[in-house]
Copies of this chain bind each other. A is one copy, B any other.
Amino acid sequence: MDIYEAMSTLRAVRRLKPDPIDEDIVERIFTAATWAPTGGNMQPWRMIKVTDPAKKQALEDLYRPHWESYIPGYEKKMESMPASVQSSSRRALEAGTYLARHLHEVPVIAVFCYNPSIMTITDADQPRPSVVGGGSVYPAVQNFLLACRNEGLGCVLTTLLCIEEPSVKKILEMPEDWFTCAHVPVGYPVLGGHGSINRKPLTTMMSENTWGNLA
């Protein structure tokens, strides 16, 4: 698939079939992640491919309550949205609830892990939340998502389980010095899957030489 077509039709697909995925395809999407750049080419990240039903159920059991506690606030926020945005937000909410109840049956959950002790985190001393460690792992996650899109597989980047990281680490038997940063359920789409996306225009996202009129 052409790269711009893949990027511009990569949606968050949250309704996923339990149908199995061919091993060849699984290998291609995980391999695509390994190609991503990292600071100093250290590749300070790893993936755990979760396929075991008991482990997927355990992740769902951790995920669902956090998703459900997120709904009331989201619904409140929706009240102040314009009607057009409200309906798409409502659909996203329903799809999120579907995911929260079916995570146990998706064929694969890719858990992305990282080790900050082998990263050079250049914004560690700035007086605001650090993100630079993410620069050596989310490019890999994006490769993975684009590869799923290329293979016709639904997927969505989630980070909600980071709240439950100590429990997730126990389930996946992770060592002390490695942590989690993304959980990507993967499967064939129940509905239309990937397609048109809704993003701000370039003029809203980019300025030249100074911040200018950005908001």
Task: Give the B-binding residues of A (Cβ under 8 A).
Answer: 1-4, 6-8, 10, 12, 27-28, 30-37, 39, 41, 43, 45-52, 55, 92, 113-114, 116, 119-126, 128-135, 137-139, 141-143, 145-147, 150, 156-157, 159-163, 165, 172-175, 178-179, 181-182, 197-202, 205-212, 214
Complex A-B: 26 CB contacts under 8 Å: A2-B2, A3-B147, A3-B150, A4-B28, A8-B35, A30-B205, A33-B205, A34-B201, A36-B142, A37-B142, A39-B157, A39-B159, A46-B206, A46-B214, A52-B209, A116-B129, A116-B131, A119-B129, A120-B159, A123-B162, A129-B130, A134-B134, A135-B157, A146-B146, A172-B209, A173-B210
Question: What residues of B have a CB within 8 angstroms of the CB of A139 in the complex?
Answer: 138-139, 141-142, 145, 157
CB distance from A15 to the nearest CB of B (A): 16
Q: What is the chain B residue whose CB lies nearest that of A6? A: B3
Closest to A150 in B: B3
Q: Would you call A34 and B157 a contact (CB within 8 A)? A: no
Residues B32 and A4 in contact, CB atoms below 8 Å apart = yes
Query: Binding site of A, secondary structure by majority: helix, strand, loop or mixed?
Result: mixed
- Bound-state CA distance A165–B128 (Å) is 11
> Are the C-beta atoms of B146 and A3 separated by less than 8 Å?
yes
Q: Are A133 and B131 in contact (CB under 8 A)?
A: yes
Chain B contacts for A10, CB-based, 8 A:
35, 37
Nearest-neighbor residue (CB-CB) of A163 within chain B: B122
Cα A206 to Cα B33 with chains together (Å): 10
* Distance (whole angstroms) from the CB of A179 to the closest CB of chain B: 5
